[in-house]
Chains A and B, each alone.
Chain A
Amino acid sequence: MNENEAGERQIDIMVCGAGYVGLATAVAIKQARPSLDVVLADAAPDGVWKKDGRASAIAAAACAMLQRLGVWDELEEGAQPITEMIVTDSRASDPIRPVYLTFSGEVEPGQPFAHMLMNRDLNGALRRRCDELGIEIHQGTPIAGLDRSGACAVATAKDNRRFSARLVIAADGARSRLRDWAGIRTVSWQYGQSGIVCTVAHERPHNGRAEEHFLPAGPFATLPLPGNRSSIVWTERTADAERLVNSDPFLFETELETRFGRHLGAITVESKPRAWPLGLTLARAFVTHRLALAGDAAHGIHPIAGQGLNMGFKDVAALAEVIVEADRLGLDFGQEDVLEDYQRWRRFDTVRMGATTDILNRLFSNDIAPIRLIRDIGLGIVDRMPGLKRDFIAQAAGKGGPMPRLLRGEAI
């Protein structure tokens, strides 16, 4: 172990936060530059990640990256391909929901445009890969302070262990403390809406079909999981959402059924529903001297288009590529001018995606007749224009914007 006179452990890169963004970043860098000393620190006690019952949609590009990072093979078996996606605009009580958009999109033949994956499976596979590559993960290690005034950044853990690193990567989520300590401010919008997330079992198979219904209170999405199960992302006004998740399970199930419908037979709620307040948060800067933000620490977006994870993976791929390229030139990757390449690469895309989903949400979360008419015509037009629809599918598959190499399935 490399310690200097000040009792600081000397490493190259400190990644704070061992969610999928932090883990994937560490793996991507270490795989390309095995000589770099990469360490992960996570505030949660060991094993908490195993309790995450949520599922995420992995777009085709993110899937190509996971393949490159050496974890896809073990994940594929437990992943549910999404082979079809329909979008409707209706009231919950409408007996028939006219379908305005159908995406039976395959990005390339034989490749579905997304997979549904349990978060804990993804997290577990990336952790195994960290072990293989010799990346240490310190659980139960919240970072209590960050000093960027010296030659290196010094991160102090709550137990007073100190790490001196050339670069600290903040992947510590939407309420990133590292971001706040660095004085990076955020712009945010609160929607007054919450996303209710849960898993349901149903009698009949979903056949890999994802559905998104634009109901007046907000979008209601069902995403296929392995077996006869689906993941629900259901948006309601925050007060209603809180009331729903805290209500009697039978009442909740009844409310859910009026939205889910009975086309897949009877449904049973499998996991305890939880509500997450929705907002759009963008960091004003993604980098500063010896610090880079990634994932939700840089941008938390409304989950309407299912882009949160895929945007996070784009950060991973772009950041890792910038760091590895700089290291191959012998440049100090903790320098702000190097990190600015990452910021330039990601910020435009992030703002565009944030704005798009914000507009979509504002457009769809209401029940005003003229707006409904306009958006229905709009969706109908999108459905009939192959070019535009292809763009939608490409965007949904995470293939919009200039692509970092990992997302094209290439090595850095």
Chain B
Amino acid sequence: MNATGGTTIDTAEVERFSAMAAEWWNPKGKFRPLHKFNPVRLRYIRDEVARQFGCDLNAERPFEGLRILDIGCGGGLLCEPMRWLGAEVVGADASETNIKVARIHAEQSGLDIDYRATTAEALADEGERFDVILNMEVVEHVANVDLYLRRCAEMIKPGGLMFVATINRTMKAYALAIVGAEYVLRWLPKGTHSYDKLVRPVEIHNPLSDEGLLRRDITGMFYSPLSDSWQRSRDTDVNYMVLYERPA
């Protein structure tokens, strides 16, 4: 009887996480903004990684042999494409729930991804090293940006890359990314972002250049309502991505 009871609890939990996985991966659901955002950042990541490591994008698995860390991976929206492209992927998230959700979905997709409920500091302490670190929409949520980025930088192999995507701390960002996205369009729950925690490019640059990284590129992204899609632009006042390299 007891054994049966234990199984029931497990099943219920799996069902709950499956439902959450379905929600994470529903392009029309709660995470619609992330899905909309995904192609533009994926294209940027793919092209820059391919350029750095000389990958043949027409190959079936162009990222074969690369080890990639997606920190703050959520439901695995970036991990799965990276795995499809052939990379060995570690997905880390502080939330145990997110990790369970991501694992369930990866299994449904038939992908083996190393998901871990852990932090950047813990990974750095374990001596993990990566060719590419994806640091997408995370820095505006961490307690100590400076320390966090330094610990991430430690894990980049020589010749490796780190992508950081976040929202700038400008009045324009306040108007568009907080008032616009959370209060007017209701893309994101109210309180997702707080203005004080937004991060200026220089606040990323200082710790990373102290750690010996070189800034290779910075690009803005804006939402085009006409095509209902995100595009890259030179305007980095709101959403932007920066690319750093550890010289070989």
- CB contacts (< 8 Å) of A331 on chain B: these are 38-39, 42, 81, 84
In terms of DSSP, what is the predominant structure of the interface of chain B?
A: helix
| Contact, CB under 8 Å: B57 / A328 | yes
B215 close to chain A: CB less than 8 A: no
B36 close to chain A: CB less than 8 A: yes
The count of chain A contact residues (Cβ–Cβ below 8 Å) is: 14
A330 close to chain B: CB less than 8 A: yes
A187 close to chain B: CB less than 8 A: no
Contact sample, A vs B, 7 pairs, CB 8 Å cutoff: A329-B43, A329-B46, A330-B83, A330-B84, A332-B80, A332-B109, A344-B228
Residues of B48-85 contacting chain A, CB below 8 A: 57, 60, 80-85
**A48 CB to nearest B CB, Å:** 35
With A151-B108, A330-B85, A344-B227 given, can you name 5 additional A-B contacts, CB distance below 8 Å? A33-B60, A34-B60, A329-B39, A330-B83, A344-B228
Cα distance, A290 to B221, chains bound together (Å): 29
| Contact, CB under 8 Å: B36 / A337 | yes
Cα distance, A33 to B57, chains bound together (Å): 11
A228 close to chain B: CB less than 8 A: no
- CB contacts (< 8 Å) of B109 on chain A: these are 151, 332
| Contact, CB under 8 Å: A336 / B28 | yes
- CB contacts (< 8 Å) of A337 on chain B: these are 27-28, 35-36
**B113 CB to nearest A CB, Å:** 12
Cα distance, A48 to B42, chains bound together (Å): 45
**Counting chain B CB atoms within 10 Å of each CB, which of A332, A335, A337 scores highest?**
A337
> In this complex, what residue of B is CB-closest to A339?
B27
Binding site for B on A (CB under 8 A): 33-35, 151, 327-332, 335-337, 344
| Contact, CB under 8 Å: A330 / B27 | no
- CB contacts (< 8 Å) of B83 on chain A: these are 330
- Mark B76-116 against chain A: 1 for CB-CB distance below 8 A, else 0: 00001111110000000000000000000000110000000
> In this complex, what residue of B is CB-closest to A329?
B42
- CB contacts (< 8 Å) of B57 on chain A: these are 328
- CB contacts (< 8 Å) of B25 on chain A: these are 335
- CB contacts (< 8 Å) of B108 on chain A: these are 151
- CB contacts (< 8 Å) of B36 on chain A: these are 337
- Mark B31-48 against chain A: 1 for CB-CB distance below 8 A, else 0: 000011011001100100
| Contact, CB under 8 Å: A330 / B82 | yes
| Contact, CB under 8 Å: A335 / B81 | no
- CB contacts (< 8 Å) of B42 on chain A: these are 329-331
**B208 CB to nearest A CB, Å:** 26
| Contact, CB under 8 Å: B81 / A330 | yes
Cα distance, A344 to B228, chains bound together (Å): 10
**B116 CB to nearest A CB, Å:** 21
- CB contacts (< 8 Å) of B39 on chain A: these are 329, 331
- CB contacts (< 8 Å) of A332 on chain B: these are 80, 109
- CB contacts (< 8 Å) of A328 on chain B: these are 46, 57
- CB contacts (< 8 Å) of B60 on chain A: these are 33-35
Cα distance, A134 to B24, chains bound together (Å): 36
**Counting chain B CB atoms within 10 Å of each CB, which of A327, A328, A332 scores highest?**
A328
| Contact, CB under 8 Å: A336 / B81 | no
Cα distance, A33 to B59, chains bound together (Å): 9
**A326 CB to nearest B CB, Å:** 8
**Counting chain B CB atoms within 10 Å of each CB, which of A33, A34, A329, A344 scores highest?**
A329
Query: Of the candidates A34, A329, A336, A344, which one forms a contact with B27 in the assembled complex, judged by CB atoms under 8 Å apart?
Result: A336
Known: A151-B109, A330-B85. A335 touches B43 (CB 8 A): no
- Mark B200-221 against chain A: 1 for CB-CB distance below 8 A, else 0: 0000000000000000000000
Cα distance, A151 to B43, chains bound together (Å): 25
The 3 closest A-B pairs by CB, nearest first: A330-B81, A337-B27, A330-B84
Cα distance, A335 to B84, chains bound together (Å): 15
Cα distance, A151 to B42, chains bound together (Å): 22
- CB contacts (< 8 Å) of A327 on chain B: these are 84
- CB contacts (< 8 Å) of A330 on chain B: these are 42, 46, 80-85
> In this complex, what residue of B is CB-closest to A330?
B81
> In this complex, what residue of B is CB-closest to A327?
B84
**B66 CB to nearest A CB, Å:** 13
